[in-house]
Structure 1
């Protein structure tokens, strides 16, 4: 019943909002994003839409619905699988229960840098990962950048694993996140994102972990001035189209969509890098201390039990090995 209600609601909302566009376009594809208008992922899909419209002479339009207008990520992924929504932009983390490889490729300290992440996703491994979505009714079009998650706290600069011992950190309700904190000797405290500021302020927790733009926009830098650039998690973002919608397009239009998506990824990554830099400069100017001299070796070694728990098949172990060897 819940699924039916979700599908009907999505249909009514998108039909109403996209009505005008449908009148002038032969095909209108509805694309969902949880982020607000102006966010790099939203602007990326908008750029893709502009290129597709131009190259098809206005035959194909992509209507972007930001700010969770069509639902939260997991709901909109499900709707895209059923073809109620045509496209979705979502984090790999939201695909973990659907496409197992997304959990393996989102493990802590798997990537050396954001450049390393891009090389992995833009190469043969990225193609291999994309191939595992089709059986779930989804066709990946582009990998976007979601930045790197880092630790920040109100107590002290964190430079070593020992500095984390006994500290309380908010994490998302995710088993990998909880196990990561345990392996580092810290205490994971899952809680809603909206409660983090007051919880740090009142000492319920010592800190949290996220990227620079979130650390900045949430105001967390005001109550947790120590930010450690350890880049423990880099979770890819994905733009995918419903297999049902995809198969209605001609091969020529599919190629236009793929090319526009790749071009949009280049723009989105540029916009994300600019937003990260601006947020970093802003929090430093406001008094935050950013610790960059972090030797990640001990942090990586501490993840051994996490990898033992979640990398359990020869295929997964081989994938991790190939990701780490990518230059």
Structure 2
């Protein structure tokens, strides 16, 4: 009887162990099935604030999701140009990429609004307005029909005009200056409205074009002087502050929709966290770039009569405000900026 009882008890113990092992294996299998690797590409070097911020996003997402969501980053344009990265995100060949908002205007007219001169009164206002959920929803969801959506934004600086030789004091001084702009009709219209002669060309061609005299000027943030050595050939930097064009982190819509509600929250929270950290990284990068350009490259920094540039571009601003394709987004930004200005006045 004792032997039979012993065998029965042993059988139950063995069965319990087998069930336990089976549950662990099933759990491991489920975890592996749930684990998803997101391929993220961008065109900046690893020392750039954008790459550092995307690394913050990666680490935060992997930590919060406990490994359910993993991110593989390919910097330096390893997987192709900005346009190619957008197209690969559309087809789900990769899942995410960081691009300039200017590169998205051919997919959604909403993004062309960032080329409106003096859309924001200041960088502070821009940062506040872009954090507003209503604003993010309006822009980030505007490309869903194209197979991707926005997840967060990153600072790409305030755009100013720098010249090879001539010092600029007002918009009249831009007359006849061949000024490089990003390829795209709104970028061309922007510089034309400010008084310059727009010359569209890829960013990688700017240094040689300035050096050879193909162009007289370009427009970008201060880091262009140092990271791409434009300060070696352009010796005058002018604070026109005519545009603030953000970078946008986009994601394939199908991949996003496949995530659970919790996974989507982890992803959005990690993205917002990386944007918050990016602001400090960006501000420090600009500070160091300005210091290096001034002390080591001999670049002179100038304040200008901004009111003359605003007056010169008022017709273009009005056209953005009235265009049915951009009117509602313009009114939303204007409303949120006024609310922010009022809140500052109240305090």
TM score, norm. by length of structure 1: 0.86
SS in 2 for 1:247: helix
Contact 2:181-2:198 within 8 A present in 1 as well: yes
Aligned to 1:97: 106
| 1:239 maps onto 2:245 in alignment | no
Match of 1:119 in 2: 128
* 1:19-58 equivalences in 2 (<5 Å): 26-58=35-67
Determine if contact 2:123/2:158 at 8 Å carries over to the other structure.
yes
171, 174, 184: which one aligns with 1:174:
184
Give the Cα separation in 2 of the matches to 1:40 and 1:24: 33
CA distance, structure 2, for counterparts of residue 317 and residue 69 of structure 1: 37
1:288 corresponds to 2:290 = no
Q: Distance in 2 between matches of 1:194 and 1:80?
A: 23
Q: How many residues align?
A: 304
Deviation of the 1:24 alpha carbon: 11
CA distance in 1, matches of 2:333, 2:189: 21
- Alpha-carbon distance change, 157 to 241 in structure 1, aligned in 2, over 3 angstroms: same
Match of 1:227 in 2: 237
Matched, 1:184 2:191: no
Matched with 1:263 is: 273
What is the rounded CA distance, in whole Å, between the counterparts of 2:239 and 2:56 in structure 1? Answer: 31
Deviations 1:121-154 (A, max 9, x none): 1112223222323232223221111111111112
Deviation at 1:120, TM superposition (A): 1.5
Alignment equivalent of 1:306, drawn from 303, 316, 324: 316
- Structure with more of its chain in helix, by fraction: 2
**Superposed displacement of residue 304, structure 1:** 2.9
Q: Which residue of 1 aligns with 2:218?
A: 208
**Residue 163 (structure 1) aligns with:** 173
Q: Which runs of 5+ in 1 are unaligned?
A: 1-22
In the TM superposition, what is the alpha-carbon distance from 1:59 to its structure 2 partner?
A: 2.2
1:279, 1:152 → 2: CA distance? 14
Secondary structure at the aligned position of 1:135 is classed as helix
How far does residue 53 in structure 1 lie from its aligned partner after superposition? 1.1
Deviates most, 166-175 or 188-197: 188-197
Q: Which has the larger radius of gyration?
A: 2
Please state how far the C-alpha of 1:306 moved relative to its aligned partner: 2.5
What stretches of structure 2 of length at least 5 have no aligned partner? 1-31, 341-347
Check conservation: 2:188, 2:198, Cα contact below 8 A: yes
* Whole-angstrom distance in 2 between the partners of 1:56 and 1:321: 37
Computed over aligned residues only, the root mean square deviation of the Cα atoms, in angstroms, reads 2.1
